[in-house]
Chain A
């Protein structure tokens, strides 16, 4: 178990990554997620082909795996945990806007290398907002 950080707040689970939990993921769950991801990617590409890249781009920020994730979490850990996952999703979605902004600014200059910086922007904004909101007591 590797711990990223922890906040000394009573009753709050510390933040961390548990690699052992990956082994608990079944092949069926992985296949469902792959199918969802592949389907939405194909739909985004087809929509871009038919209605243009701007409309197709909308689907790059489509909640593709959230329904599957929320359903699986509720089944395994209860409704409260599923709602907590959606709360974190808000922060991740704000990070998606930062990803898109960096991509818009840098793609014309640096080509596909811009996507690496856009991913760095997503990570920085998401983690910054998450730990900020948690520190302020806005997130569990």
Chain B
């Protein structure tokens, strides 16, 4: 009885160790993507800040900052095929981004910028989500 219990607790401990190891292995690329993605966002936002007029500055608000960081790290760590699949998802997401900005012009004009820009997320969600449901299996 005691032997059986020991065996079970040992196998549970081994499994927990394996899960921890896998999560640690996944945690490194996630942390790297967060760090590099954050740095690229800051770099592009500084270019946006220095640009005038505001329509020109807006180009850099929709720059591929997060995409550059994520696809580069994915391509290096998981290979180009995984990065290509992510880029295909990004193509659908970019249609959502266009919808976000189009809706944002109206919502920001009618509400305050914070409420308007949050309401415009609905445009991204509907278009990107709809395309994902239609094309991603």
Contact = CB atoms under 8 A, between A and B. Distances in A.
Interface string A81-112: 11111111111111111011101100110011
Given A33-B41, A70-B117, A71-B117, A86 B86 contact: no
Interface in A57-82: 57-67, 69-71, 73-75, 77, 79, 81-82
Interface of B: 26, 29-31, 33-42, 44-72, 74-76, 80-98, 100-102, 104-105, 108-109, 112-114, 116-118, 120-121, 124, 128, 132, 136
Interface residues of A, number: 89
Contacts of A42: 30-31, 33-34, 37
B109 A83 contact: yes
A139 interface: yes
Contacts, number: 333
Interface of A: 12-19, 21-22, 24-25, 30, 33-42, 44-46, 48-49, 52-67, 69-71, 73-75, 77, 79, 81-97, 99-101, 103-104, 107-108, 111-112, 114-115, 118-119, 122, 126-127, 130, 134, 139-140
